[in-house]
């Protein structure tokens, strides 16, 4: 498979890793256009992964070969070609766009689910 991207996914980063430290590690393999550790919006803490954009596809391939499954700041990191973002974006919380814990609606029978008041008795259930 031909390597076509300059954008790399970096996983299993230590939570103390900064953008500058990430950039420094990858600069040994070529020009780094950008390096970003992904941070949690609510807590401001690192999520433990990031993205690096290299200056060329050759530099990106060299970085993967040189850093994938290697120790970095006390952890073994994963370095892969980043997948393109999916269209449409993320629509929900930690459960994705599947809705709430109780299905569509909620309350005592509102919507398509909800509480137990709108269910048939078990003996009438036929499948």
Give the tens place of pLDDT for each residue, 75-98.
999 999 999 887 765 555 555 555
Residue 46 tokens, joined: 């690192």
Q: Which residues does 41 contact at the CB level (< 8 Å), separation at least 6?
A: none
Contact 17, 68 (CB under 8 A): no
Burial class from Cβ neighbours inside 10 Å (0-12, 13-18, 19+) for residue 121 reads: exposed
The tens digit of pLDDT for each residue in 10-62 reads 999 999 999 999 999 999 999 999 999 999 999 999 999 999 999 999 999 99
Give, in order, the Cα–Cα distances in Å from 42 to each of 91, 100, 101.
Answer: 17, 20, 22
Q: Could you tell me which of 40, 46, 37 has the C-alpha nearest to residue 19?
A: 37
Which DSSP symbol is given to 115? S
Model pLDDT, residue 103: 52
- Biggest distance spanned by C-alpha atoms of the chain: 70
Model pLDDT, residue 106: 52
């Amino acid at each position: 498979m031909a390597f076509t991207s300059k954008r790399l996914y970096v996983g299993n980063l230590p939570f103390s890793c900064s953008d500058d430290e990430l950039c420094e590690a990858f600069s040994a393999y070529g020009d780094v256009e950008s390096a970003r550790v992904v941070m949690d919006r609510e807590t401001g803490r690192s999520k433990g992964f990031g993205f690096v954009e290299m200056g060329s596809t050759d530099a990106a391939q060299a970085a993967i070969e040189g850093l994938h499954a290697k120790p970095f700041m006390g952890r073994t990191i994963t370095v892969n070609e980043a997948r393109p973002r999916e269209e449409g974006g993320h629509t929900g919380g930690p459960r994705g766009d599947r809705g709430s814990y109780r299905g569509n609606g909620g309350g005592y029978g509102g919507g398509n689910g909800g509480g137990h008041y709108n269910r048939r008795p078990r003996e009438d259930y036929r499948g």
